[in-house]
Amino acid sequence: MALTIAAPSQEEVRRRNLGALLRYVHIHGATSRAELTDRLGLNRSTIGALTADLTTADLVSEEIPRKTGRAGRPSLVVRPRSSRVHAYALSIEVDRLRAARVGLGGKILDSRAADRPPGLPILETVGTLAGFVRDMRRAAPADSRCVGGGVAVTGMVRGADGVVRISSPVGGVAGTVGEALGSTLGHDRALVVANSADVGALVEHTRGAAAGYDNVIYLHGDVGVGSGIIAGGRRVTGHGGYGGEAGHMVVNPHGRACGCGSRGCWETEIGEQALLERAGRAGATGRDAVLAVLDAALDGDRAAEAAIRHVADWLGFGVVNLVNIFNPNMVVFGGTLRELYLAGAAQVHSRLSTMALPGCRDHIRLRTPVLGDDVPLMGAAELAFERLLEDPLVAGTG
Amino acid sequence: MALTIAAPSQEEVRRRNLGALLRYVHIHGATSRAELTDRLGLNRSTIGALTADLTTADLVSEEIPRKTGRAGRPSLVVRPRSSRVHAYALSIEVDRLRAARVGLGGKILDSRAADRPPGLPILETVGTLAGFVRDMRRAAPADSRCVGGGVAVTGMVRGADGVVRISSPVGGVAGTVGEALGSTLGHDRALVVANSADVGALVEHTRGAAAGYDNVIYLHGDVGVGSGIIAGGRRVTGHGGYGGEAGHMVVNPHGRACGCGSRGCWETEIGEQALLERAGRAGATGRDAVLAVLDAALDGDRAAEAAIRHVADWLGFGVVNLVNIFNPNMVVFGGTLRELYLAGAAQVHSRLSTMALPGCRDHIRLRTPVLGDDVPLMGAAELAFERLLEDPLVAGTG
């Protein structure tokens, strides 16, 4: 009996396996053929054939390991060609614009950054970012190849078309950033655009603190609060790509008006402004101002200490809600929430132990990002590499 | 090049296609071979072969349609053998115990129900429920076959082993309900157990109001509030199977103490007691008491009207949080929340339009369950049929 349609063709199986092998070395770095055979559950001759294809495509190289402790012929080591294959990663942050050329394997090969003038609309950042890319392109080796580009944007981002719908702290303009950048750079398709918190969840789940964890909440703090959620190993994107806007979960019905038009949203209690005002620094803004409060607390400043306790208590409050709703096994605190969590971990844990359901608080781990400040850039690169890993031999210039 | 491991065997492809065909007629009822060919994307001879296998296994029957408007040989109609193949569905509710024999295709063939004595622990409901099943088994046709059983429990349920961890309104006992029922009934494996709200999400997504919607929140109200969440077409279960406990999202930090140990949980604002107390009926409990408040409001009872407005406002408040977090395209109100929503839809819509993020409130539909009061039973049956549909020819007596 023929089941031609549902059975994947040899070609599909090959593509999937090429992607699996390339993904493995992209995440784990140089790996011996023997280990690949073991980890991917494929036989030796298949691994050999896949590696040969990827070598021909200049995506990996093979070499004899320098030294092995064992007798006999050593297993060849497969290494991603980080210096030959790269993606451009762009990050549009509240007060900074960053760009990097990231090699296959997740290595930052080159980078550029500039201040973002306060209030500069997102679409008007395209010129600066495109300039960064052109500059890095000139500096890249002649024999290197670009496989695409990704953009992380602080604010709310529509998944499918890259239209930014709400991003009050970032610029407030609806614009097709990905398309604008793609066409400015002369790429044959739009760059992939996603929310900073979503790419944070992606990259920390791929190669960071949450590697191996299938139910993850990644929180990103700056002016506002974003969240990226992994449920059952997959990103929760929602119907229109807006899933994960936990910063606009209302935690305090009698709280302050929020930029989104509602009142008492989580980000009104744990965003930058909440901390700075409580600490008696109402005029200040930005990451450095937040870090200054944390430093002051370490130096014994009572107002700073109290502000951190108060805001970290609200941080724990919202985390508990998400924990009860999602039953994650890991929560990662990124952006300025990293420092807030480290300074106020006691408040967060106290809320968890008194408010979270026992079944939901068992086994949960609270962590900070392994990739630190590079999370948005590395996540943006990961967006671009996703396309390559899905079909390694076809991906052109992104 | 041989890719033996990743390529599914002919046998796996066949099993998957048998499952797909059986699932189609299970959900959509009798379907012509021509339509199956079209809907499943398989060719005619494959559909013929699959149907023959399922007919031999006594899972479907084929017949010539009575009348067709077209010339030529009519396409045979494939029909699930609802009267020959069934699952047992059990529902442990706050004040009721229900059981049904549900035929393949989702038809209730027989049912039993009894009051549940107040406070009777879950494990002590096993005797009554097992008695129902034995009774229905005796009444079933001799040539009929059971393919398994499922149990819906109001309260929090661990997915993997069926251990009920928290279920204060239901009985508060940790017990392996599924195992106890399975062994009492002499089944060769435990019955599948899940939370009433989770099975509600499952069955309304499979064959109810949310069919065709991939991002769904199903809310179930009784003493407490449960939720079942579908994100990207899949149930959100969380790390330990506790995902979706939105009833314990804190919406009112200064609210009342909740049975879970926290304060101001959503269910303290929209559960039965909140409505009954506000309506001046503090002593009453149960579904009938809730319905009496709604009837009184229709008759012009001011206290009942005000109570509904107040509680429906909190219903909308929590819905907005879930909408901002998940960006669903449908919310379904089940259990007593069905009536509350129908009476207080204006409050819910008002909260949505003033508090929800524009990107998240666009395209959202609010609905009540198509399956009404049968949601938990039909959902429990669906849990059992899931096993059959995964491997139609192997499933034994569940």
Taking the C-alpha atoms of residue A370 and residue A333, their distance in angstroms, rounded to an integer, is: 10
CATH superfamily, region A211-369:
ATPase, nucleotide binding domain (3.30.420.40)
Q: What is the 3-state secondary structure (H, E, C) of chain B?
A: CCCCCCCCCHHHHHHHHHHHHHHHHHHHCCEEHHHHHHHHCCCHHHHHHHHHHHHHCCCEEEECCCCCCCCCCCCCEEEECCCCEEEEEEEECCCEEEEEEEECCCEEEEEEEEECCCCCCHHHHHHHHHHHHHHHHHHCCCCCEEEEEEEEECCCECCCCCEECCCCCCCCCCCEHHHHHHHHCCCCCCCEEEEHHHHHHHHHHHHCCCCCCCCEEEEEECCCEEEEEEECCEECCCCCCCCCCHHHCECCCCCCECCCCCECEHHHHHCHHHHHHHCCCCCCCCHHHHHHHHHHHHCCCHHHHHHHHHHHHHHHHHHHHHHHHHCCCEEEEEEHHHHHHHHHHHHHHHHHHHHCCHHHHCCCEEECCCCHHHHHHHHHHHHHHHHHHHCCCCCCCC
Q: Taking CB atoms and an 8 Å limit, are B245 and A320 in contact across chains?
A: no
In this predicted model, what pLDDT tens digit does every residue of A291-328 receive, in sequence order? 999 999 999 999 999 999 999 999 999 999 999 999 99
Q: Is the pLDDT of residue A175 over 50?
A: no
Instruction: Give mean pLDDT, residues A352-357.
Output: 91
What CATH topology corresponds to A85-198+375-390?
Answer: Nucleotidyltransferase; domain 5 (3.30.420)
Question: Which chain A residues are closer than 8 Å to B205 by Cβ?
Answer: none
Instruction: Give mean pLDDT, residues A236-251.
Output: 85
Q: What is the pLDDT of residue B395?
A: 55
Q: What is the pLDDT of residue B375?
A: 93
Q: What is the pLDDT of residue B119?
A: 74
Most confident of A356-360, A371-375, B332-336: B332-336
Dig out the tokens for A59 from the structure: 């995506």
Q: Taking CB atoms and an 8 Å limit, are A237 and B327 in contact across chains?
A: yes
Q: What is the pLDDT of residue B250?
A: 94
> Does A349 touch chain B if contact means CB atoms closer than 8 Å?
no
Lowest-pLDDT range of A1-5, A140-144, A329-333: A1-5
B228 pairs with which residues across the strands?
Answer: B218
Query: What percent of chain A lies above the pLDDT cut of 70?
Result: 90
Query: Comparing C-alpha atoms, which of B326, B331, B320, B328 is closest to residue B355?
Result: B320
Domain ranges of chain B: 10-64+73-80, 85-198+375-390, 211-369
Regions of chain B short of the pLDDT cut 70: 1-8, 67-71, 155-176, 188, 395-398
Taking the C-alpha atoms of residue A322 and residue A328, their distance in angstroms, rounded to an integer, is: 8
Q: What is the pLDDT of residue B284?
A: 87
Residue to mutate among B157, B239, B310, with most A CBs inside 10 A, is: B239
In this predicted model, what pLDDT tens digit does every residue of A185-230 receive, in sequence order? 777 677 888 888 999 999 999 999 999 999 999 999 988 899 999 9
Residue to mutate among B324, B330, B351, with most A CBs inside 10 A, is: B324
Specify the 3-state DSSP secondary structure of A322: helix
With 0-12 / 13-18 / 19 or more C-beta atoms within 10 angstroms meaning exposed / middle / buried, residue A95 is middle
For A:228-257, CB contacts with B below 8 A are: 229, 231-232, 234, 236-246, 248-253
Query: Comparing C-alpha atoms, which of A109, A87, A88 is closest to residue A99?
Result: A88
Q: What is the pLDDT of residue B24?
A: 96
Within 8 A by CB and 6+ apart from B344, the residues are B308, B309, B311, B312, B313, B315, B316
In this predicted model, what pLDDT tens digit does every residue of A325-348 receive, in sequence order? 999 999 999 999 999 999 999 999
Q: Mean pLDDT in chain A?
A: 87
Name which residue leads in pLDDT, A213 or A157: A213
Q: What is the pLDDT of residue A11?
A: 84
Q: Taking CB atoms and an 8 Å limit, are B240 and A327 in contact across chains?
A: yes
Q: Taking CB atoms and an 8 Å limit, are A1 and B46 in contact across chains?
A: yes
Q: Taking CB atoms and an 8 Å limit, are B321 and A250 in contact across chains?
A: yes
Q: Taking CB atoms and an 8 Å limit, are A43 and B4 in contact across chains?
A: yes
Specify the 3-state DSSP secondary structure of A124: helix
pLDDT band at A174 (very low <50, low <70, confident <90, very high): very low
> Does B328 touch chain A if contact means CB atoms closer than 8 Å?
yes
Q: What is the pLDDT of residue A86?
A: 96
Contacts A–B by Cβ distance under 8 A: 215
Q: Which CATH class is domain A10-80?
A: mainly alpha
Q: Is the pLDDT of residue A158 over 50?
A: no
Q: What is the pLDDT of residue A1?
A: 30
Q: What is the pLDDT of residue B136?
A: 96
Q: What is the pLDDT of residue B185?
A: 76
Residue to mutate among A245, A325, A362, with most B CBs inside 10 A, is: A325
Q: Taking CB atoms and an 8 Å limit, are A1 and B158 in contact across chains?
A: no
Q: What is the pLDDT of residue B165?
A: 44
In this predicted model, what pLDDT tens digit does every residue of A48-58 receive, in sequence order? 999 999 999 99
Does the fold of domain B211-369 match that of domain B85-198+375-390? yes
Complex ipTM: 0.83
Q: Which CATH class is domain B10-64+73-80?
A: mainly alpha
Q: What is the pLDDT of residue A284?
A: 87
